[in-house]
Each structure stands twice: as C-alpha cells, then as structure tokens.
Structure 1
C-alpha cells in the first residue's frame, strides 16, 4: 500500500500540533513545519515516538525562499512520493484592534501570513501534490463577509476573507488534477489564539476537520465548511 504523506504548517502548538498527532495516529507519514524546529519541543518528542514517520522542517510561510527550500527537502523526506494532504494551518491574529487605530503593519502581517502565504506555498508545492490529493486552508468564520455585523479583529478578518478567495481560485486551478481545495473553520478552539474560554479542545477540532476533509469530495472543492461539516456563507 502506498505510504500516505501529509504536511501541516504552523504545527508546533495548538491546532497544528493536534492535527499532526491525529494524522500520525491514523498511520500517515507527516511533515510538520514551523519557523523554529529547534524550539518545537512537543513536535521533537513526537519524532522519537514515531521513528521514520514524522519529519519536522523549517518554514516561514511569509517567505517564498523558505517555500522553495521546503519543496526541495520534501522530495527527500517523502522518498520521492507524492504529497496527499497539505493543511495550511499557520496563521496570525492581532487582538484588541479598534476603529481609528488599525495599524498598517498588522494588516500587512495578516495578509502575508493568512492569505498570501497559503496561496504561494500551495503554488510552490503543487507539483509535489498527487493527483486526487487535497489542500485544506484553515480559515475562520471571521473571514465570512455575510456573517460580519460588527467591527471585530479587522486585520484577521480581512486576511481570512482574502484566504477564502485564494481557496476558490486554487480549486479552479487544481480541479483538472482532481485535487480538492477546502476552506475550513475550526470552531472556537482553546489555543493561544482562541484563548482559555474557547469551547473546543484542539483535539476535538482536529478530529472534526479531518473527518470533513475525508467526507467532502471534488464536487465540494472551493467550498467553505466548519469543523462539523456544515457549509458557511462567504
């Protein structure tokens, strides 16, 4: 049976780490990326627990040179095999923004990490993704224009709305190869980003997201769904 390779960005903590753990549990060979692998203690512990099935590689999603280096290393750690699943999970959120004091640096950081990064990384890795594979962009209901009725986290919301457009465009670009591209809302998750009061544990969200990825088909490519497999409005 062909080895299944999955890649998760922003994998050193929170939801990304939970996704890595569950992908390993189901038998995948996993490439976990983060900016500073040497400091990713939880990931490095998992490497010892899953010898030969987890590789931790550096990636700055805002840097296209880092994308190209990852593509080169990916060919080595996957033994030349295709990538079956790419989860663009890395993200950034600036809380506490108020109208009248939104900082251009926060807007730029959100766009670069939340939208530009997933689009350009997927473009760089497209040749490595096997026909019939999947790209899952971890989005947010905050990126839904239809659901917005208050001025809240504008930098993050704008970045995720742009990421949603990237999802639709990538779905069109990759459809001929039967690669589905999904925008996924993980729910309100108890992470550094979501806070201690959040309703879901990372494990609960990760489990739901992986089920959605498995259950949705090519006809759903370019769609926006939550962790419980419910469609979301744009």
Structure 2
C-alpha cells in the first residue's frame, strides 16, 4: 500500500544558510512544510534567498545569533509575524574549532563552543517554548563526539565537551516539556560531507538529512530524552 502523505508542519531550522541546515530546509520544503530558516546574516545567505523565491509564502529567513540571548528574544518577537506556531524546532547551528591539542586548548574556543553548542540551543528552546505547539518536537543536532561512553581519544575537546553538555540540555528539556507532550531528542547526523565534516566524510548531507527526518517522524513522546543516530539507532550517553 502507498504511504499516506505526511501532514505539512511548521518548522524552524537554525544555522540554515549552509550544510545540514540548508539541506534540512530543502527537504522540509519538498515535504510541503512551512519553514522558518535562521542564520546570522540573512542578506548573505544566497542559497536560502533563492529558495525563498522558489517557495513563495512557505519559507521565511530571519536573523539569529545563537550565542546571543538578545537575538533569541528578538527572534521570539518576530516569529508570530511570519508563522502562527511551531510543530518542529531543529537546533542545527553549531561551531567546531579544529586543531586543538592537549595543553593548547584556548579558553576562548572552549567558551565559544559551550556558548554556541550547549547554552545556545537550550536558551533558544526556552525562548521559543511558548511558540511550540503541544505535541510538537525538538531535535537537537548532537554528535557521537559528545558521547562520554564512546570516547576513544583526545579529539576536538571543546566541541566534544559542548556536545556532551548539549546532551544534558536535551535530557532536561525533555523533562520540562513533557507535560505538553513535546518530545525532545538528541540526534547524531553521522560523519557528513559538509564544511564541518570535511570532504573525507562518509555520507552526503542529503542522505543524512533524509535519515534524520525519518527518525524525527518516528519519534513519539515515549522517545523523549533519547540520543539517536541518523538511522534511529540509540547511542550511549
């Protein structure tokens, strides 16, 4: 039997000007969703702005600096002007400082990673909570590098530590939003061929996002607070 078409959602994607974020926007639009895409500099987001022209009325691009709480508040004020609520929040934006070695991890890089990758998604979700529909979903893009149970060496410490902290934020948000039947999950996208993942990565952004959206579609309230990979397989904390 053919699969019934999925009901269009009202979705918001952070870090949507490139990589996984841009691919999320493309695939959500292809599914018929109404999408709000955020990035720090919308005027420079050429690919996003082309999509706005291709999907009139279904894609809106708004500014967001994830590391700035004032920007969260401004987004929360602007959101009702373009959309009447959110069924899905995808906290995709993040930062990775490469080349870190033990004994030479700059404090500024650690602070920036924690502020962007952990505090940012937590505080943004808090700021947008009143706009989330009961029964909606929050997907936090995490990483297996944030899995304490999977540590195999001293790799990208500021990124790994910030993603581990983000995982705790996922668990806490899952508890805070449970009474509204909002499921919150941490998702590992795999090693993806993006600017962050590099050209030697294993999977394309298109394949990763397709799997991530299938996993998100399958998430129920009983799954809230879980850590899953792009194919829906549970990961160790």
How far has the Cα of 1:97 moved from its partner?
0.6
Aligned to 1:224: 227
Aligned to 1:49: 54
Aligned to 1:113: 116
User: Of the candidates 63, 71, 96, which is equivalent to residue 76 of structure 2?
Assistant: 71
1:157 aligns with 2:171: no
How far has the Cα of 1:3 moved from its partner?
5.9
- 2:8–2:31 CA contact under 8 A, matched in 1: no
CA distance in 2, matches of 1:136, 1:3: 17
How far has the Cα of 1:4 moved from its partner?
2.4
How far has the Cα of 1:167 moved from its partner?
0.1
User: Of the candidates 98, 102, 107, which is equivalent to residue 105 of structure 2?
Assistant: 102
Aligned to 2:45: 40
CA distance in 2, matches of 1:59, 1:18: 18
SS in 2 for 1:146: helix
- Root-mean-square deviation (CA), in Å? 1.1
Provide the TM-score with structure 1 as the length reference.
Answer: 0.98
Q: 1:3 to 1:22 in 2, by over 3 A?
A: closer
1:87 aligns with 2:96: no
CA distance in 1, matches of 2:8, 2:230: 26
1:143 aligns with 2:143: no
Aligned to 1:207: 210
Q: Deviations over 1:25-74 (max 9, x none)?
A: 00000000000000000000000000000000000001111001101111
Kindly tell me the number of residue pairs found equivalent between the two proteins: 232
Aligned to 1:192: 195
List runs of 5+ in structure 1 lacking aligned partners: none
How far has the Cα of 1:149 moved from its partner?
1.7
Aligned to 1:28: 33
Q: Deviations over 1:170-222 (max 9, x none)?
A: 00000000000000000000000000011111111111100100112111100
CA distance in 2, matches of 1:208, 1:14: 15
CA distance in 2, matches of 1:163, 1:111: 8
List runs of 5+ in structure 2 lacking aligned partners: 1-6
How far has the Cα of 1:146 moved from its partner?
0.3
Aligned to 1:122: 125
Aligned to 2:4: none
